[in-house]
Structure formats: structure tokens, C-alpha cells
A and B are shown apart, each in its own frame.
Chain A
Amino acid sequence: MSVTLASLPPAQPVLFVELRFAWIFAVIFLVNWALRWNTARKVWLLICSHVFYTCFFVGDPLEFVDNITHGRWDQLHQGWWFPALLWFSTVMDYFVGIGIEAAKTDRGRRAWVATSLAVNLGVLGFFKYYGFFDENVRAVFSWLGMSPTWEPLKVFLPWGISFYTFQSLSYSLEVYRKHLPAERSFLNLALFIAFFPQVIAGPIVRAMTFLPQLAKRVEWSKVDVRGCLVMFFMGFVKKSCISDNLAGVADAFYAAPQDYNGFSGWMAVLAYTGQVYCDFSGYSDMAIAVSRLLGYDLCQNFSFPYFSASITDFWRRWHMSLSSWLRDYVYISFGGNRGSKIFTYRNLMITMLLGGLWHGASWAFVLWGGLQGGALILHREWTLRAGPRALSVMKWFAVPITFLFFALTLVPFRAGDTYMGVMGRDNGNDVLLPLPADGSKPLRDGKPAEILPLRIVNNGFLAEGKDPADAAPMADMRRNVLTGSWHKAPPNGSSAPDAVGAQPLLARRLTGSWGTMSTVLATLVGLGHGTHSVCSNWMLLVLGGLLLFHWLNYRQVLSTWWRRMPEWSFAMLLGIGFAIAVFMKPVVFKPFIYFQF
């Protein structure tokens, strides 16, 4: 049976902020602690982790089994077989670990680790970068005046593959470096790779951190329940109340940056900077809290990065699990700073370019990585050259400069993410056609293209419609999709067909919109022609309030008072807190930004 028969769009992952996660977690949690034997708990968690991960691809498990047993292959979700990749990675790395340890020569050890690297990165590369590669090869061909004849493959990016591949690789690399003995327990290794709180979007837990925890018995008495609940609550607030609300401002601006004035541009840049941080660190907080409630500790992923005094410091505090992974396995593997200055800078740049590419197969992400690498080099050079007086003066401006630099580098990160396109047809193939900003119908070879029943893509997501699209409503739909409001009636009573069901389009990371990027930058420096305001001046107050709250947290003013509260008042206050958080969150959930990576 061919997998291409599967006709339903890929299923959606369960978000930690959804109620259904609460049910699922309640069952996992209660059974986990009801079991007496540690091995039984681990088996239970492994089963749950794989079922949890598999459901991201197959949807309802019983429906899936029903469809398989009745041979209804067309009723399966695309990518339903992707969970097998997780097993494949686990089994391979299990044997690679044993193979490395058993190898008697360095050559043998290298061969084993090379196998792990080649296979893991090969799988990741194929699924993540095939589309990017294909697109660029086609661009080169057409630049040379040739037309490529091969048909593009439909490749979908499995959820979490970037995260678990790096996690799995950390195991084989640590065994290779003799920092860790090969794990003889397949159960432990499988649980380490598939552990459900972090399998989709990290933190990228290192084998050295997690495997020793699995060797020990977990004790309920050691679980800091109050700390976990507060951490989960803070993650929920960051994601649902702050990030999703800030997204409304950023999305409105990036939907049509040419319409807005400079103030709006800066508000959107700041809003997006807050959105990214709260989205990802909120997710990480919830993942860590959930994991701790089950007795396992995951590594910290963020440490107030927006208060960093330099870009070097920033990268020690931002997405720490990825940056330390890149430092230990890429930067150091390339030689680190054990050579000339140029050699070190080269390594820095390679590491950050790869870091950028890890985020998505797009030149915009490569540019983003390049900017980070360039800044790291500049900072290193500055610290070597600047005198003590310059350094002491700079101390006062270091934090805002670092923050502003990072906020501005998020312009390509976000603009590169705002590809707008529709699914069209060309010679019988489904193709992505860029959607003109004026809302006119896309062209193919100078003629209006054949558009499939309205499917508009953005940010790697696809909104699918019922009726064939015509040119008129596209401008409205473009905005609807970008602002996440495709369910809303189009303005002015126009008769656009409703776009239904935003579904992730995992075919590839969509290429960046350079036009959007340049328009945003022009708006920021006051060269834009837009006059609209994306929000009122009150937004500054909101952002200031958030910054103050974050600073108080940074200074640990808010970190412990709740520990001193009596149990009854803590429980009640947490209930009040959740009620206010739910009240403040938008009804429509926004997908986690880092799910797409």
C-alpha cells in the first residue's frame, strides 16, 4: 500500500495549554505514581510517550486502527507512518552506542559514530531541507536558462524531528567521547529519546543529564509540587496570555507592513520579540514542570536572555539547550577557539549559520544565523580591543543594545516566515504560488494560474477552502490567514468562500519574503509610506508593564513569596490566577512557534 494514498492533512499536536492535555496528563500522572516498580513506571511512560507522539500524526488512535484494519488507506492522515522514524532513530542509536563501546580501535569507533551522524542527519536533512534544496536547484537551473524536468517530491516535516534527532545524536556523541557508557537498557534509551514532555519542541535534553536519572528510582517525596504548579502556570501565562496577545499586534503589522507608520513598525518588532520569547520559554516552562511532576528533571532552556549584557551572554541564556548543543558538538568539533583568531571566528560563523539553518530551511534563517555569528565575532573583537574606560561606559548601554540588536534580527526571522502563497496546479502537480500583495490572482508563465480549492498558506500553515477561489477575495483572505482569523467573515460583506481548518503545511519551510523584510526595515527607519497605526500608544504602557514584571522576576522579587503561603491560600490563589489567565487569553490558540522547527 502506498502512503501517498493518505488523503487527510497531517494531524495536529496536542498543546500543553489545551484541556485535552489536562485529561491525558492526569491519567499519565496518576498511573505513573500508582505503579510501585520503577521499571513499570518507565514502561508506562514509554508507552504513553509513543502513543502521545503517534497521535500527533494519526489523529484518533482507534479511528486509525479501524481505518487500517478495514483497508481505508485514503482515510489516513498524511505522514501517519512518521512515528516509525522515532523508533528507527532509537533502535539505531542503541546499537551504535553498544557498537562504539565494543569497538576496539578508534577507527571502528569513528565508523560507528559516523553511521549515527550520517543516518540521523540524513533523515533530518531529507525531511527538513529537501524542499529548500529542490527550490534552489530549480532556481539555479532557470538562471542558467534550463528548465528542470523532475517532479518535486511531496515531503512533510515530521513534528519534533529536529529536537529528537539532536537529542539522540547527543547520546552517540557522548558515548563516542567516552563521557558516558553505552546504555544497555533499551527501555532507558527509548524513554530518553521519546519522553513526551520534550519530544516535540525540546528542551533538547542531553543524554548525560537524563540517562543517569533513569537509572535511579524516582520518589514522589522529592517532587516539588508547588514549584511545578507555579512553573506550569507561568508557562501558561507566558504562552496564552502574553505571547498569543502580542501575536495579534505583530501579525496585523506583518500582514501589510506597507500600510503602517514607523511607530507601528517598532511596536510590532517589540511585540514579536516578546512573542517569541514568551511562546518558547512558556512552552519550555510547561514541559519542564510536567516532566518534574513525573519525577524527571529537564534542563533549563532560558535564563532572562533579554537582560543579557552582550550577545555572547545572550546566547548563553537563549534556547540554552540548543546553543550548548551547538557549542559542544559543532563549535568544539570544528576546533573551537584552539587556533588563530580567524580560525575561531570561522568556527563561530559556521556554528551560527548552522544554528540559523536548524530553525528552518530558508535563506532568511541563514541570514538570521549569519547576523548572530557576525555579532558574536564583533563582540569578541570589541572585548579584545576596547580599553577599560570604553568598557565601563558601554556597561550602561550593553543591555538595551543587545536587546535591540536581537529584536531587529528577528525581522528576517519573522518576515522570512511570512510567505504568502496559494496552492495551484501546474502540469498536474500541486505547486505553491506566491500570492501578490495586491490580492490579485497569481500568475504562472504570465497567465492566471489554476488555483486549487482555496488553500492559502502562511507561516507553514495551510488554510483550506471549500470552493474554488476567485481573485476578488484573495486580498481579504491573505489578511485573514495571516492574522489567524480565517474563520471570520470577510469584510465589506464580500462573498469569499470560507477557508476552513488551518492545517500545518509541512511540505517544507517556506522561503522568506524579501519584499516583506525590506518593507519592514524601510518602515522602521521612517522611509515607509504607510499612515495607519497598528495599535494605540497605550501599547507602550503594556510593553513597559511586561518588562517591569519580567525585571522583578529577574531580580527574584517574585520568586519565593508564594512558597511561604499556607497551602489553602496557595491553592485558592492558583485557581484565581488560572481564571484570570483564561480570561485574558484569546479564544483561538496560536500554534507554538517552535513546533514548526
Chain B
Amino acid sequence: MRAFFVRAFRTLLGIALFFAGYGLTCLGIRHFLPTDRVPIVSVKMDYWSQHADDFDVAFFGSSRTFRQIVPEIFEKDLAAAGMKVKVFNLGIDGMRPPEDTFYMEQAFSYRKTPIKIVIVECNPIRLVTRDEDKGTVRSVYWHDWPRLVSIFHKAFFFDNKKRKLGDRIRKVWFAWGPFQEHLEYWLWNNANAGRGHDALFKLLNVDQLPPFSKSDLGRRVDGYKPPADVELMDEQKTKFYNAKKAEVLAKPPKPDPGDLASLAEIRKKNRLVEKAGGKMFLVVPPVLSENNIALTEGNGIPPVFDFSDQQKYPELFDPLHRSDTGHTNYAGAVIYTHLIVQKMLPLLKPNSP
């Protein structure tokens, strides 16, 4: 029996020492090497880090922000209302919570002066990684401990409803796969995965595609870049779009109060904005989907502007203003930006910003 315990102790000690060696080496490497370069994200953040205090307003969100909220229009509309501001669009294609919270924390860390207005796209936490991001630096760089905790909450704590045990087990099973993918990214991030490879390729000058293009900062260097499809949808796409539009109209999705983890993430962002001295507004973009996020202001949730109702905002859902079911084209982006300002203006104090 004693021999068994001695062997077990030595095994456990070996495992502990393995992880100690692993962890200490990772920490050491991390300490001496610069952070990862992430396509689009690094380009925007590099610029923002140098000019953060030049801007009064910032937008955060996915392509529905990056490609759909036009700083130029926003500035003009506010100027017309007597408010002179400078706006930067920090939206990134495919950026959802909790990545956007990490990105926001980084962005605010560069500011020395208070920010005034922050527009944040309202999205639930995305548990399943986009196919195009799987196993890329983009999926890895934001996986720190707080983000992993948010993902864990999203995966395993659903809501306050009572559920059958079988239902809960099923949900946990289905959530495990995506969660362990995030866990892997978290481990990779902390283990500096890929950074040696990047440094080596830089040293060897290996011919690679230049993923870091300053064109992502936009024509006016305000972070805005028009949607990929600036033209109208073709006949086939329009047909599909109209069918989907009719389907959603006929069977409108039930209002969704949001899951606990996603709400917590919104509150966290709101606190960050308040700490940075600004006022946050949540925007639900004009999307034809089966989900209907229905949030109301209060209890840590900032004012919400919901543009997802096609009956209320028919102009945003007009096929002439769309590039697909999830995105507007440039014409739609202009309308969308005007509408955001219209909604926001009454909520701003008369002499601010």
C-alpha cells in the first residue's frame, strides 16, 4: 500500500512539474515577445493607439458596424444639431461578444481623456467559432481569463428557467464541444502559439500575403469601410432575400430577453464605458433573422435602439438598400447612420458632448 502511495505521489509530482515547466516557459516567452498581429484588428488598434484621444465617439461591433455606420454621416448629423465630434469606427468583421469587450478594454486603455459617446452593436455571446476563424490568430488573441469565464457562463448556465435534467444534460453536451474549442484557444493564447512561427517567418522573410492593409482604416481614416457588395443584389439574391423577408414577416420571432451571460457582458461593457467617462448606446442592427433580441434600458443595460423590425424601418429592409439578409449596402448604411443619430439625439444632454 505504501509503495502505491509513493508511486502515486511521484506521478502527481511529475505532472505538477511538467505543468510548472510548461507554464513558466510560456510566461517567460510572453514577457519578452510583442503581442500577436491580427488581421484588421491590429491595423485598427495600431492607429487608435496613436490617435485615441483625437476622437470623441467610437463604434464597436461586427461588420454590421464596420460596414454600416458611417462616421462621416454621423459627424455631419451631429454637427447639424450643434455638436462637433470626431468619430472613429472600431467595428471589425465578425466581432461578437466577448471578443468585443476585450477589444474595448484594449481601446480604452490607450485613452488619457474621457470618451464621450460609445455605440455598441447588440449581440449575444457567440459560442461557436466562425468557420473562417477556426484555428487562426483571430480566434486566439482575445482568449484571456475573463473571456473564458464569460464563455463558460454562456455554455453552461443558460437562464433561470426550470429545465428537465435530460434537457440540461443535452445542452451541456452540445455546449462542451464549442467550449473546449475556446479552452484550447485560451491555452494557445497563454502558450504563445504561433508567435515563434511568425517571428521565424519574419526573420526568414518568407513570402506571405500581406494581411495587414491600411485600407482597413477606410478612405477617411476613420475606421469605416463600405460593404463588400456596394452594388445591388442580383436577381437570384433578391429573390432569396424577398422570400426570407416574407417568411420573417409572416412568422415574427419571439422577443428574446437575452441569456444571462450575454446580459452580463453588456453590463460589463456599460461599466467600461462609464469608467472611460462616456455614454453607451446599444444598437440592434437591421437583420432578417429568427432571433429577436428585446432588451430594455435599466438594470445596467444602456439605452437600446432596435432597428430589426422591418415594419418599423421598411427603408432599411428595402432590397435596394441591402447586400444580403444580414447586411445593408452603402445606401442602407447611410440611412442606418441617420436613424441612429435621430434616435440618439434626444437622449443626449443639451450641452453635451
Contacts and interface: CB of A to CB of B under 8 A. Distances in A.
Interface residues of B, number: 66
Contact of B191 (A244, A485, A542, A582): A582
B232 to A, nearest CB: 14
A250 to B, nearest CB: 10
Contacts of A490: 209
A489 B211 contact: yes
A252 B208 contact: yes
Contacts of A467: 228-229, 324
Given A62-B173, A587-B136, A19 B207 contact: no
A132 B25 CA distance: 50
Contacts of A574: 18, 21
Interface residues of A, number: 63
Nearest to B228: A495
B8 to A, nearest CB: 13
Given A571-B17, A571-B21, A574-B18, A533 B135 contact: no
Interface string B189-205: 00111111100110111
A535 interface: yes
Contacts of A379: none
Contacts of A587: 135-137, 140, 188, 193-194, 197
A341 interface: no
A36 B22 CA distance: 33
A23 B209 contact: no
A532 interface: yes
Contacts of A479: 209
A260 B17 CA distance: 48
B29 A579 contact: yes
Nearest to B173: A62
A584 B197 contact: yes
A62 B173 CA distance: 8
Contacts of B205: 533, 535-536, 538
A485 B211 contact: yes
A570 B237 CA distance: 61
B213 interface: yes
Interface stretch (B149-157, B179-187, B250-258): B179-187
A326 B195 CA distance: 42
Contacts of B195: 583
Given A568-B14, A579-B26, A489 B21 contact: no
A489 B40 contact: yes
Q: SS class of chain B's interface: helix, strand, loop or mixed?
A: helix
B22 A576 contact: yes
B150 to A, nearest CB: 20
A535 B193 contact: no
B113 interface: no
B84 interface: no
B11 to A, nearest CB: 9
Contacts of B138: 487
Given A487-B136, A500-B131, A60 B22 contact: no
Contact of A62 (B174, B188, B215, B234): B174
A575 B25 contact: yes
Interface string A557-597: 00000000001101111111011101111111100000000
A583 B191 contact: yes
B132 interface: yes
B209 A488 contact: yes
B239 interface: no
A272 to B, nearest CB: 14
B39 A583 contact: no
A539 interface: yes
B339 to A, nearest CB: 25
Contacts of B24: 576
Contacts of B13: 567-568, 571
Contacts of A436: none
Contact of A583 (B134, B181, B192, B230): B192
Nearest to A538: B204
B213 A486 contact: no
Contact of B196 (A535, A568, A584): A584
A460 interface: no
A62 B216 CA distance: 41
B118 to A, nearest CB: 25
A248 B132 contact: no
B4 to A, nearest CB: 13
Contacts of B130: 500
16 contacts: A19-B187, A252-B206, A252-B207, A479-B209, A487-B138, A489-B216, A497-B228, A500-B130, A532-B207, A575-B20, A579-B25, A580-B29, A582-B193, A583-B196, A584-B196, A589-B135
Interface of B: 10, 13-15, 17-26, 29, 39-40, 93, 130-138, 140, 170, 173-174, 177, 180-181, 183-184, 187-188, 191-197, 200-201, 203-211, 213, 215-216, 225, 228-230, 234, 237, 324
State the 4 A-B residue pairs at the shortest beta-carbon distance, nearest first: A575-B21, A493-B215, A501-B131, A587-B194
Interface of A: 18-20, 23, 60, 62-63, 244-245, 248-249, 252, 260, 467-468, 476, 479-480, 483, 485-493, 495-501, 532-536, 538-539, 542, 567-568, 570-576, 578-580, 582-589
